[in-house]
Amino acid sequence: MAKLIAALAAGLVFGFGLALSDMVNPARVLAFLDIFGAWDPTLVYVMGGGLVVGLIAFRPTLARARPLLAARFVVPTRNDITLPLVAGSSLFGIGWGLVGYCPGPAVSSVVFGEPKTFGFLAAMLAGMLLVRLIPLPGASAPAAA
Amino acid sequence: MTEISPWMALLGGGLIGLGSWLLLAMNGRIAGISGIVGGLLAPQAGEVAWRVLFIAGLIGGVALHHFLVAPEGSITLAAGWPLVIVAGLLVGIGTRMGGGCTSGHGICGISRLSVRSIVATCVFVGVAAATVLVVRHAVGG
Protein backbone atom coordinates (compact mmCIF):
# COMPACT_ATOMS: atom_id res chain seq x y z
CA MET A 1 0.00 0.00 0.00
CA ALA A 2 2.80 2.42 0.90
CA LYS A 3 4.43 1.69 -2.47
CA LEU A 4 1.22 2.62 -4.26
CA ILE A 5 0.88 5.90 -2.35
CA ALA A 6 4.54 6.65 -3.12
CA ALA A 7 3.95 6.01 -6.83
CA LEU A 8 0.91 8.31 -6.80
CA ALA A 9 2.83 11.03 -4.94
CA ALA A 10 5.83 10.76 -7.29
CA GLY A 11 3.49 11.06 -10.28
CA LEU A 12 1.73 14.08 -8.77
CA VAL A 13 4.98 15.97 -8.19
CA PHE A 14 6.28 15.02 -11.64
CA GLY A 15 3.03 16.03 -13.35
CA PHE A 16 2.79 19.34 -11.48
CA GLY A 17 6.34 20.08 -12.63
CA LEU A 18 5.43 19.31 -16.24
CA ALA A 19 2.47 21.70 -16.03
CA LEU A 20 4.34 24.45 -14.17
CA SER A 21 7.06 24.51 -16.83
CA ASP A 22 4.47 24.27 -19.66
CA MET A 23 6.10 21.11 -21.01
CA VAL A 24 2.56 19.76 -21.51
CA ASN A 25 2.22 22.24 -24.37
CA PRO A 26 3.51 20.84 -27.70
CA ALA A 27 3.85 24.38 -29.11
CA ARG A 28 6.29 25.24 -26.28
CA VAL A 29 8.39 22.14 -26.94
CA LEU A 30 8.46 22.76 -30.71
CA ALA A 31 9.58 26.34 -30.05
CA PHE A 32 12.58 24.90 -28.18
CA LEU A 33 13.37 22.41 -30.93
CA ASP A 34 13.16 25.18 -33.54
CA ILE A 35 16.75 26.31 -33.15
CA PHE A 36 16.70 28.40 -36.33
CA GLY A 37 13.32 30.01 -35.63
CA ALA A 38 12.07 32.06 -32.67
CA TRP A 39 13.97 29.87 -30.22
CA ASP A 40 12.36 29.32 -26.79
CA PRO A 41 14.92 28.18 -24.19
CA THR A 42 12.33 26.97 -21.64
CA LEU A 43 13.21 23.30 -22.07
CA VAL A 44 16.86 24.00 -21.24
CA TYR A 45 15.83 25.36 -17.85
CA VAL A 46 13.46 22.43 -17.30
CA MET A 47 16.14 19.86 -18.12
CA GLY A 48 18.60 21.88 -16.03
CA GLY A 49 16.29 21.93 -13.02
CA GLY A 50 15.56 18.22 -13.34
CA LEU A 51 19.21 17.29 -13.73
CA VAL A 52 20.41 19.46 -10.83
CA VAL A 53 18.06 17.51 -8.55
CA GLY A 54 18.76 14.18 -10.23
CA LEU A 55 22.54 14.47 -10.35
CA ILE A 56 22.66 15.41 -6.67
CA ALA A 57 20.05 12.98 -5.37
CA PHE A 58 20.30 9.81 -7.49
CA ARG A 59 23.87 8.79 -6.65
CA PRO A 60 23.59 8.64 -2.83
CA THR A 61 20.21 6.96 -3.17
CA LEU A 62 21.52 4.25 -5.50
CA ALA A 63 24.46 3.70 -3.15
CA ARG A 64 22.01 2.43 -0.53
CA ALA A 65 21.38 -1.31 -0.26
CA ARG A 66 17.71 -0.99 -1.19
CA PRO A 67 14.93 1.55 -1.67
CA LEU A 68 12.84 2.50 1.36
CA LEU A 69 9.71 0.57 0.36
CA ALA A 70 10.92 -2.18 -1.96
CA ALA A 71 13.35 -5.09 -1.88
CA ARG A 72 15.68 -3.82 -4.59
CA PHE A 73 16.39 -1.16 -7.18
CA VAL A 74 15.19 -2.03 -10.68
CA VAL A 75 17.66 -0.02 -12.72
CA PRO A 76 19.20 -0.70 -16.15
CA THR A 77 22.74 -2.03 -16.01
CA ARG A 78 23.72 -2.12 -19.69
CA ASN A 79 26.45 0.12 -21.02
CA ASP A 80 26.65 -0.91 -24.68
CA ILE A 81 25.57 1.41 -27.45
CA THR A 82 23.36 -0.74 -29.68
CA LEU A 83 21.59 -0.28 -32.99
CA PRO A 84 18.10 -0.47 -31.40
CA LEU A 85 19.12 2.25 -28.92
CA VAL A 86 20.25 4.64 -31.65
CA ALA A 87 17.60 3.70 -34.24
CA GLY A 88 14.80 3.78 -31.66
CA SER A 89 15.92 7.13 -30.28
CA SER A 90 16.05 8.47 -33.86
CA LEU A 91 12.48 7.32 -34.61
CA PHE A 92 11.36 8.84 -31.32
CA GLY A 93 13.13 12.08 -32.24
CA ILE A 94 11.29 12.28 -35.58
CA GLY A 95 7.91 11.74 -33.90
CA TRP A 96 8.74 14.22 -31.14
CA GLY A 97 9.81 16.84 -33.67
CA LEU A 98 6.75 16.35 -35.89
CA VAL A 99 4.19 17.18 -33.20
CA GLY A 100 6.00 18.26 -30.02
CA TYR A 101 4.75 15.42 -27.82
CA CYS A 102 6.92 12.99 -25.89
CA PRO A 103 5.20 10.33 -23.73
CA GLY A 104 4.94 12.16 -20.36
CA PRO A 105 3.32 15.33 -21.70
CA ALA A 106 1.14 13.32 -24.09
CA VAL A 107 -0.25 11.18 -21.26
CA SER A 108 -0.72 13.99 -18.74
CA SER A 109 -2.14 16.67 -21.05
CA VAL A 110 -5.36 14.66 -21.48
CA VAL A 111 -6.49 17.17 -18.82
CA PHE A 112 -6.92 19.76 -21.58
CA GLY A 113 -9.36 17.53 -23.46
CA GLU A 114 -7.86 18.11 -26.92
CA PRO A 115 -9.11 15.25 -29.17
CA LYS A 116 -5.77 15.03 -30.99
CA THR A 117 -4.06 14.24 -27.68
CA PHE A 118 -6.13 11.07 -27.47
CA GLY A 119 -5.38 10.26 -31.11
CA PHE A 120 -1.66 10.64 -30.43
CA LEU A 121 -1.92 8.39 -27.35
CA ALA A 122 -3.82 5.68 -29.25
CA ALA A 123 -1.17 5.71 -32.00
CA MET A 124 1.64 5.70 -29.40
CA LEU A 125 0.16 2.65 -27.64
CA ALA A 126 -0.24 0.93 -31.02
CA GLY A 127 3.42 1.63 -31.77
CA MET A 128 4.47 0.22 -28.40
CA LEU A 129 2.38 -2.92 -29.00
CA LEU A 130 3.96 -3.29 -32.43
CA VAL A 131 7.44 -3.40 -30.88
CA ARG A 132 6.21 -5.99 -28.38
CA LEU A 133 4.71 -8.18 -31.11
CA ILE A 134 7.74 -7.96 -33.37
CA PRO A 135 10.70 -8.41 -31.04
CA LEU A 136 13.92 -7.08 -32.51
CA PRO A 137 17.15 -8.99 -32.14
CA GLY A 138 19.24 -7.37 -29.42
CA ALA A 139 16.50 -4.92 -28.53
CA SER A 140 16.74 -3.20 -25.17
CA ALA A 141 15.02 -4.98 -22.33
CA PRO A 142 11.50 -3.58 -21.84
CA ALA A 143 12.28 -2.77 -18.20
CA ALA A 144 15.09 -0.43 -19.28
CA ALA A 145 13.50 2.92 -18.67
CA MET B 1 1.75 31.40 -25.94
CA THR B 2 2.23 32.92 -22.49
CA GLU B 3 5.68 33.76 -21.17
CA ILE B 4 7.30 31.28 -18.80
CA SER B 5 9.99 32.79 -16.62
CA PRO B 6 13.27 30.89 -16.44
CA TRP B 7 12.74 30.54 -12.69
CA MET B 8 9.34 28.90 -13.19
CA ALA B 9 10.86 26.53 -15.77
CA LEU B 10 13.74 25.69 -13.40
CA LEU B 11 11.28 25.07 -10.56
CA GLY B 12 9.11 22.89 -12.82
CA GLY B 13 12.18 20.93 -13.90
CA GLY B 14 13.23 20.59 -10.26
CA LEU B 15 9.83 19.09 -9.43
CA ILE B 16 10.20 16.64 -12.33
CA GLY B 17 13.57 15.63 -10.86
CA LEU B 18 12.06 15.41 -7.37
CA GLY B 19 9.20 13.19 -8.56
CA SER B 20 11.69 10.94 -10.36
CA TRP B 21 13.86 10.74 -7.26
CA LEU B 22 10.83 9.91 -5.06
CA LEU B 23 9.94 6.92 -7.23
CA LEU B 24 13.56 5.73 -7.14
CA ALA B 25 14.15 6.28 -3.41
CA MET B 26 10.81 4.81 -2.30
CA ASN B 27 10.05 2.09 -4.84
CA GLY B 28 13.41 1.60 -6.55
CA ARG B 29 11.95 2.28 -9.99
CA ILE B 30 12.95 4.55 -12.86
CA ALA B 31 10.38 7.25 -13.67
CA GLY B 32 10.46 6.64 -17.41
CA ILE B 33 7.00 7.35 -18.75
CA SER B 34 7.36 5.24 -21.90
CA GLY B 35 8.59 2.31 -19.83
CA ILE B 36 5.86 2.69 -17.21
CA VAL B 37 3.13 2.89 -19.88
CA GLY B 38 4.74 0.14 -21.98
CA GLY B 39 4.79 -2.19 -18.98
CA LEU B 40 1.00 -1.99 -18.83
CA LEU B 41 0.70 -3.46 -22.32
CA ALA B 42 2.10 -6.79 -21.12
CA PRO B 43 0.79 -6.82 -17.55
CA GLN B 44 2.72 -8.88 -15.00
CA ALA B 45 1.69 -9.69 -11.45
CA GLY B 46 2.55 -6.86 -9.05
CA GLU B 47 3.50 -4.57 -11.94
CA VAL B 48 0.14 -3.00 -12.76
CA ALA B 49 -1.15 -1.01 -9.77
CA TRP B 50 1.93 1.19 -9.15
CA ARG B 51 2.14 2.04 -12.85
CA VAL B 52 -1.54 2.99 -13.00
CA LEU B 53 -1.19 5.11 -9.85
CA PHE B 54 1.95 6.87 -11.09
CA ILE B 55 0.15 7.74 -14.33
CA ALA B 56 -2.94 8.83 -12.36
CA GLY B 57 -0.65 11.06 -10.30
CA LEU B 58 0.94 12.46 -13.45
CA ILE B 59 -2.48 13.42 -14.83
CA GLY B 60 -3.57 14.61 -11.38
CA GLY B 61 -0.54 16.88 -11.10
CA VAL B 62 -1.38 18.57 -14.38
CA ALA B 63 -5.05 18.77 -13.35
CA LEU B 64 -4.13 20.36 -9.99
CA HIS B 65 -2.07 23.00 -11.76
CA HIS B 66 -4.73 23.58 -14.39
CA PHE B 67 -7.70 23.89 -12.06
CA LEU B 68 -6.07 25.53 -9.03
CA VAL B 69 -3.13 27.56 -10.32
CA ALA B 70 -3.59 28.45 -13.98
CA PRO B 71 -7.17 27.88 -15.17
CA GLU B 72 -6.46 30.11 -18.19
CA GLY B 73 -3.69 27.79 -19.36
CA SER B 74 -4.09 25.98 -22.64
CA ILE B 75 -2.11 23.82 -25.04
CA THR B 76 -1.61 24.21 -28.77
CA LEU B 77 -1.33 21.12 -30.94
CA ALA B 78 -0.89 22.65 -34.36
CA ALA B 79 -0.21 19.47 -36.34
CA GLY B 80 -3.05 17.93 -38.34
CA TRP B 81 -4.55 14.52 -37.66
CA PRO B 82 -2.43 12.48 -40.12
CA LEU B 83 0.80 13.92 -38.69
CA VAL B 84 -0.44 13.36 -35.13
CA ILE B 85 -1.07 9.67 -35.84
CA VAL B 86 2.27 9.15 -37.62
CA ALA B 87 4.11 10.96 -34.81
CA GLY B 88 2.32 8.89 -32.15
CA LEU B 89 3.30 5.66 -33.89
CA LEU B 90 6.93 6.79 -34.21
CA VAL B 91 7.10 7.86 -30.56
CA GLY B 92 5.58 4.53 -29.45
CA ILE B 93 7.89 2.40 -31.60
CA GLY B 94 10.99 4.52 -31.02
CA THR B 95 10.76 4.79 -27.24
CA ARG B 96 10.27 1.05 -26.77
CA MET B 97 12.99 0.16 -29.26
CA GLY B 98 15.37 2.69 -27.70
CA GLY B 99 14.41 1.72 -24.15
CA GLY B 100 13.27 5.15 -22.97
CA CYS B 101 12.19 8.69 -23.62
CA THR B 102 12.80 12.20 -22.32
CA SER B 103 12.11 11.18 -18.72
CA GLY B 104 13.73 7.73 -18.52
CA HIS B 105 16.83 8.55 -20.57
CA GLY B 106 16.85 12.35 -20.37
CA ILE B 107 16.27 12.91 -16.65
CA CYS B 108 16.77 9.58 -14.85
CA GLY B 109 19.43 8.10 -17.15
CA ILE B 110 21.65 11.18 -17.25
CA SER B 111 21.23 11.52 -13.47
CA ARG B 112 22.68 8.00 -13.20
CA LEU B 113 25.45 9.04 -15.65
CA SER B 114 24.38 6.18 -17.94
CA VAL B 115 26.33 6.26 -21.20
CA ARG B 116 23.40 4.71 -23.08
CA SER B 117 21.03 7.40 -21.82
CA ILE B 118 23.42 10.24 -22.64
CA VAL B 119 23.79 8.90 -26.20
CA ALA B 120 20.02 8.33 -26.55
CA THR B 121 19.23 11.85 -25.32
CA CYS B 122 21.71 13.46 -27.72
CA VAL B 123 20.22 11.40 -30.58
CA PHE B 124 16.56 12.18 -29.93
CA VAL B 125 17.07 15.86 -29.19
CA GLY B 126 19.29 16.22 -32.29
CA VAL B 127 16.92 14.31 -34.56
CA ALA B 128 13.89 16.20 -33.21
CA ALA B 129 15.58 19.56 -33.85
CA ALA B 130 16.54 18.40 -37.35
CA THR B 131 12.93 17.30 -37.94
CA VAL B 132 11.60 20.72 -36.92
CA LEU B 133 14.22 22.36 -39.15
CA VAL B 134 13.05 20.31 -42.14
CA VAL B 135 9.33 20.72 -41.46
CA ARG B 136 9.39 24.45 -40.65
CA HIS B 137 12.21 25.85 -42.73
CA ALA B 138 12.87 23.47 -45.62
CA VAL B 139 9.37 22.24 -46.50
CA GLY B 140 7.58 25.28 -45.12
CA GLY B 141 4.34 25.10 -43.27
Residues A60-101 have pLDDT tens digits of 999 999 999 999 999 999 999 999 999 999 999 999 999 999
Q: Among B112, B36, B70, which Cα is nearest to A125's?
A: B36
- The interface pTM score, or ipTM, of the predicted complex is 0.96
Residue A143: inside a domain: no
pLDDT value at B32 more than 70 = yes
| Cα–Cα distance, B53 to A59 (Å, whole number) | 26
Residue A145 lies in a domain: no
CA angle B110, A105, A84 (to 5 degrees): 50
Contact B72/A at CB under 8 A: no
Does residue A142 fall inside a structural domain? no
Cβ of residue B44 closer than 8 Å to a chain A Cβ: no
Please, which pLDDT band fits residue A138 given cuts at 50, 70 and 90? Answer: low
Domain tally, chain A: 1
Mark yes or no for CB contact A75/B30 under 8 Å. Answer: yes
**Amino acid found at B45:** A
Determine the Cα–Cα distance for residues B79 and A56; give it in Å rounded to an integer: 38
What confidence score (pLDDT) does residue A136 get?
62
- Residue A117 forms part of a structural domain: yes
Domain that holds residue A99: 2-133
Whether residue A11 and residue B53 make contact (CB cut-off 8 A), yes or no, is yes
Give percent of chain A above pLDDT 90: 88
- How many Cβ atoms from other residues are within 10 Å of residue A130's Cβ? 14
Question: Which residues does chain B have within 8 Å of residue A117's beta carbon, measured at their own beta carbons?
Answer: 75, 77
Residue in chain B nearest A20 by alpha carbon = B12
Task: Tally A–B CB contacts below 8 A.
Answer: 524
Residue A79 lies in a domain: yes
Mutant choice from A72, A124, A136 vs B, greatest count of B C-beta within 10 A = A124
If you average pLDDT over every residue of chain A, what do you get?
93
Residue A31: inside a domain: yes
Measured distance CA(A52)–CA(B74) in Å, rounded: 28
